[in-house]
Amino acid sequence: MGLLSIIRKIKRKEKEMRILMVGLDNSGKTTIVLKINGEDTSVISPTLGFNIKTITYQKYTLNIWDVGGQRTIRSYWRNYFEQTDGLVWVVDSSDLRRLDDCKMELDNLLKEERLSGASLLILANKQDIKGALTPAEIAKVLNLESMDKTRHWKIVGCSAYTGEGLLEGFDWLVQDVASRIYMLD
Amino acid sequence: MEEDRSHTNLPTKTLGLDADLQKKHQAMLDRLSNRHQARLDTSLARRSDSANSSESTSSFLSRFSASKQSIDSQLADSRLIATSDPSRLRSHFANISSSISDLEKLVAENSYFLPSYEVRSSLKTISDLKQNLEILNSELIPKKKFSFKNKATAKKELPKEPEPIKPDTVSVSNFKLPNSPGFRNKTNETLVKKLRGTEIGEFTLSDLESCEVRLIGCCNAVFMNRLTNCKVYMGPVIGSILIEGVEGCVFVLASHQIRIHLAKGCDFYLRVRSRPIIEDSNVVRFAPYCLDYEGIEMDLEKAGLSEETGNWGNVDDFKWLRAVQSPNWCVLPENERVGKVRTEDIGS
């Protein structure tokens, strides 16, 4: 391999971002990933394991790790923490009963040292469903205001079904990560 | 070895030393000889001991073959255990492994009087047994690239089990949650809701006992929790259905996704666009969707479910991530299925 190709490769790598999508089962993680990638979302089975999608977004390459949220496999989330630049926490805004569960799992996640530098995007999904809580309400229930002051975070309402709000959320996430790790650009 | 060295060093080292040191040295020598004697005694005792238990080659061989037989039968049992109670498999293999090493010890203890042919053939038998165990182990507890092992999950599951008993309200904040549409806390009732023409997005069924529920028309999402001995007949759901903590129920459901948690002794008649999943459930049976009511075709089409997908039988069990069929669910035998259910007929 010539020096130039090595430099090119490093350069290309530099524009990569690693995004980890987590959240309770049934929150819509896989649907969100497929939707922003412009794929069909009508037939999605609950994720058994994980999916990786590489998406070119603006001038960056996003490696999105979409990890299954069933209770049995949540303990495996930590296998994906390493080198995460952006963390996406997906909430089913219509699942009022499990908001407690949702808060507990998010709190556990944010205690994780390996994720301490990651920007956090909270997607209040399923806004298309009547009766869903608004992003402001979700923020209140999850007590986001009391989060560690050093954390970069934002909550955005979205609907993976219609696609609304997804770009707004990912725009913020990518910009925030970029401004942190590619400051020299 | 150490003893030898101290003896050979003796003449050169002790020559010019004073009496005190010599005394010390003598004490050391005494200690060493005592130790030597003690060792001889115990080894003699051990010999006579094993000689008592198996004085001859033939008695050794009969003991050997008896334990080999028991190990063989244990090995044969493991396939049965793998299908009936896989969680026991690991401890079962551990037992076999320890029996094999006991057998190995037996051979080693008796090797001093056994003819070398017997020693070799016994060792060969032991290594065969070990190999068989290894093969069974890798076959029945397969290593996957990304596997969810029962052991690790069981640990995580324990403290979490009581969670579903939590009350509906969110206790973590003072925030008051609106009550979404649904049926809650009912016993022995027939609950009917026509969803068509309403603005209802999600619908909740919770804490119902011995009720019959009929939802006619489409909605976006359904949540069910803590239902016992209920019958639930439901028009197509566009998004997903989430079920947690149900026992002795019959469900007739159609949806894009269906997740079933903590279900016991339930029958599910499903039409699903994706693979239904179960988690922490057992004795659940599956059959195709069988609901009929005036205008159901229109609703099925609206939800993208007008055609049978066959997914009702493609159940993923998150507590059984193996190639072989999960023991927690099965296909409902055709002769036990209810026929077409028409909402006009049911419960009236």
Task: List CB contacts of B55: < 8 A, sequence separation 6 or more.
Answer: none
Question: Chain A contact for B273, CB < 8 A?
Answer: yes
**Other Cβ atoms within 10 Å of B36 Cβ, number:** 11
Beta carbons of B232 and B253 less than 8 angstroms apart: yes
A125 known ligand binder: yes
* DSSP assignment of A14-38: HTEEEEEEEESTTS-HHHHHHHHTT
Q: Which residues of chain A have pLDDT under 70?
A: 1, 6-14, 182-185
A128 domain residue, yes or no: yes
Q: Of B40-54, B225-239, B308-322, where does mean pLDDT reach its minimum?
A: B40-54
pLDDT at B236 over 70: yes
- Give the C-alpha separation, A55 to A36, whole Å: 9
- Give the C-alpha separation, B25 to B160, whole Å: 66
- The answer, as to whether pTM is greater than 0.90, is no
Q: Do A140 and B175 touch (CB under 8 A)?
A: yes
For residue B206, the chain A residues in CB contact (below 8 A) are 97
Beta carbons of A106 and A86 less than 8 angstroms apart: no
Question: Chain A contact for B171, CB < 8 A?
Answer: yes
A29 known ligand binder: yes
Q: Do B240 and A26 touch (CB under 8 A)?
A: yes
For residue A74, the chain B residues in CB contact (below 8 A) are 156
For residue A49, the chain B residues in CB contact (below 8 A) are 146
pLDDT at A11: 56
pLDDT at B107: 85
A64 domain residue, yes or no: yes
> Which pair of tokens denotes residue B256?
């894009």
pLDDT in tens, B11-24: 444 455 578 888 88
| CA closest to A69 among chain B residues | B318
Q: Do B257 and A71 touch (CB under 8 A)?
A: no
Greatest Cα pair distance in chain B: 117
Q: Do B148 and A95 touch (CB under 8 A)?
A: no
Q: Do A126 and B163 touch (CB under 8 A)?
A: no
The single residue listed with the structure tokens 């509906």 is B168
Element (H, E) at B181: none
Beta carbons of B87 and B150 less than 8 angstroms apart: yes
Give me the residue spans of the domains in chain B. Answer: 57-140, 182-342
Mutate to test the interface with A, among B202, B307, B320 (most CBs of A within 10 A): B202
Q: Do A161 and B280 touch (CB under 8 A)?
A: no
> Which pair of tokens denotes residue B141?
């507890």
State the nearest Cα–Cα gap between A140 and chain B, in angstroms.
Answer: 7
CA-to-CA separations, B324 to B81, B136, B280, B281, in angstroms, rounded? 13, 15, 17, 17
Domain tally, chain A: 1
pLDDT at B176 over 80: no
Mutate to test the interface with A, among B161, B223, B224 (most CBs of A within 10 A): B223
Question: Chain A contact for B201, CB < 8 A?
Answer: yes
pLDDT at B156 over 50: no
A126 known ligand binder: yes
pLDDT at B313: 94
Find out if CATH 3.40.50.720 is the number for domain B182-342. no
pLDDT at A52: 94
Query: Residue A76 belongs to a domain with what CATH number?
Result: 3.40.50.300
**Other Cβ atoms within 10 Å of A98 Cβ, number:** 24
pLDDT at B19: 81
pLDDT at B245: 96
Say how far residue B98 (Cα) sits from the centre of its chain. 22
Domain that holds residue A70: 15-183
Q: Do A45 and B319 touch (CB under 8 A)?
A: no
pLDDT at B175 over 50: yes
pLDDT at B172: 47
Q: Which residue has the higher pLDDT, A9 or B78?
A: B78
pLDDT at A29: 97
A60 domain residue, yes or no: yes
**Other Cβ atoms within 10 Å of B197 Cβ, number:** 7
pLDDT at B297: 93
Please give the DSSP secondary-structure letter assigned to residue B127.
Answer: H
State the nearest Cα–Cα gap between B162 and chain A, in angstroms.
Answer: 12
For residue B240, the chain A residues in CB contact (below 8 A) are 26
Find out if CATH 1.20.58 is the number for domain B57-140. yes
For residue B201, the chain A residues in CB contact (below 8 A) are 94, 128-132
Bridge partners, residue B109, by sequence: none
Active-site residue numbers of A?
A: 70
